[in-house]
Amino acid sequence: MNDNTDISCLNCGTKMSIEAEYCESCGQKKIKSGLNVFDLFKDFITNIFNLDGRLFQSIKHLWQPAFLAKEYIGGKRKGYVNPIRFFLVMLVLIFFLLSHAMNNEAFDEGTMKAISSVEQLKLAQIYDSTVCVISPNLSVEEEQTLRDTVFGQSKKTSPRIFVGGNFLGWKIKEYEVTRHDAYSMDTDSLFVKYHLTNWYDQLFIKQLIKIDKNRSGSASYFISKLIWGVILFVFLIALFMKLLYVRSVFYYVEHLIVIILFGAKMLLVFNVIMAIQLLNLDLPLWNIFVFLVYLMMIVYLYLTLKKYYGQGALKTLVKSAILIVVSTYIFILSVTAVTLISMAFL
């Protein structure tokens, strides 16, 4: 084919000039008729995220405080990822990493000891009911020595299945239910022993036992539901931002975009940190590095608020501190609400 002649779009057949990069009819990028493995995987990634080069363009400018928010709100949207899509991609990725981390350790040491103790005591009870029939001439001392030799010193005490207390000034109810009792007793007997008469206490303990016995499955379930808790948090914190800047002429959607883009950056940083931790690399001074990264995120929040809202340094510093404190409580409320609803249907 002569380079000066027109060619046809391979998708819709419309004639394209040699200089054209995209088809004017269907919008598909001009491609060659051949296909190789690289093209196949490139198309796969592009179609999954539908981002082309905009994702990398957005990530590049994400490190400039308030830049993307100003660009997007100002109408320059062609070259960047939609903030909501960007945020959701980062959110799904971090919950995927969390789920993977949870699946690596389905039971902790306390759970395994509780299961072992229950099984041990069940065998000991069978032994107690049969030893006197099989060996009636054993003395009490000899029987106890034999029992301890076979089963060891069985202990009925174990850690509590849930420990409450004070958290950020909130009083969380404590339950005295031990893991041993939770694993060995039926729920009705458990409620009687620990005087759990309220329906919400009974429901809470039932769900805690389910979670403790199947930590891997429960963790995956809650992680999938917590996505909605984070989304609720974003909308609520944007509403608080509207109140925090009530004297400024900013629409709610502007606050929402600022929070979404800041959240996307935080999630991106968390994803990188979590991915490195999952590799189990023995990195020197890793904890100090992570602390400094989190500290930089606080500084980044201050710079974002200052550059976007244009207020003075002191006023922005105060509002940044207020936002950090209030957002902590709003996040806890959002996640707790979704968690309680999830527990009711677990």
Mean pLDDT of 27-42: 62
Mean pLDDT over all residues of the chain?
A: 76
| Percent of the chain residues topping a pLDDT of 70 | 64
SS3 content of the chain, % helix, strand, coil (to 5): 65, 5, 30
pTM as predicted: 0.62
pLDDT tens-digit series, residues 228-281: 888 899 999 999 999 999 888 888 999 999 999 999 999 999 888 888 888 877
Give residue-wise pLDDT tens across range 98-149.
777 665 544 444 455 555 555 566 666 666 666 555 665 656 566 667 666 6
58-67 contact pairs (CB < 8 A, 24+): 58/86, 59/268, 62/261, 62/264, 62/265, 62/268, 63/265, 65/300, 65/303, 65/304, 65/306, 65/307, 65/308, 66/258, 66/303, 66/304, 66/305, 66/307, 66/308, 67/307
Q: How far apart are CA 339 and CA 282, in angstroms?
A: 34
Q: What proportion of the chain, given as a percentage, has pLDDT over 90?
A: 17
Taking alpha carbons only, the member of 155, 173, 65, 71 closest to residue 116 is 155
List the one residue out of 47, 44, 55 whose CA is nearest residue 81: 55
Residue 301's identity, in one-letter code, is L
Q: What is the pLDDT of residues 74-106, one digit of tens each?
A: 887 777 778 888 888 888 888 888 777 665 544
Of 58-72, 147-161, 170-184, 311-325, which one has max mean pLDDT?
Answer: 311-325
Q: Which of 54-63, 65-74, 276-285 has the lowest mean pLDDT?
A: 54-63
Q: Where are the domains of the chain?
A: 7-52, 58-105+216-345, 109-213
pLDDT score for 1: 40
Average pLDDT over every residue of 153-180: 60
CA atoms within 13 A on the CB side of 298: 13
- In this model, does residue 205 exceed pLDDT 70? yes
**pLDDT score at 171:** 59
Q: Are 108 and 296 in contact (CB under 8 A)?
A: no
Residues near 94 by beta carbon (within 8 Å), at least 6 away in sequence: 267, 270, 271, 274
Q: Residue 166: in which H helix or E strand, if any?
A: strand 165-167
Q: How far is CA 257 from CA 13, 43, 101, 237, 296, in A?
A: 40, 29, 30, 11, 21
- Do residues 271 and 97 make contact, with C-beta atoms less than 8 angstroms apart? yes
What is the mean predicted confidence (pLDDT) over 2-22?
70
CB 83 within 8 A of CB 72: yes
CB atoms near residue 128 (< 10 Å) = 11
Q: Say what the pLDDT of residue 107 is.
A: 46
CA 39 to chain centroid, in Å, comes to: 33
pLDDT above 70: residue 63: yes
Would you state the pLDDT for residue 128?
A: 61
Residue 170 has pLDDT above 70, yes or no: no
Tokens of 30: 């001009």
Neighbours of 222 (CB within 10 A): 21
pLDDT band of residue 43 (cuts 50, 70, 90) is low
- The pLDDT, as a whole number, for residue 287 is 84
pLDDT at 10: 72
Residue 168 reports pLDDT greater than 60: no
Residue whose C-alpha is closest to residue 259's, from 98, 77, 79, 73? 73
User: Does residue 289 have a pLDDT over 50?
Assistant: yes
Please name the amino acid found at residue 94.
Answer: I
Residues 6+ apart with CB under 8 A from 323: 237, 240, 241, 244, 301, 305
pLDDT on residue 313: 94
Query: pLDDT value at position 242?
Result: 93
- Give the pLDDT band (50/70/90) at residue 24: confident
Kindly indicate the confidence band of residue 2, based on its pLDDT and cuts at 50, 70 and 90. Answer: very low
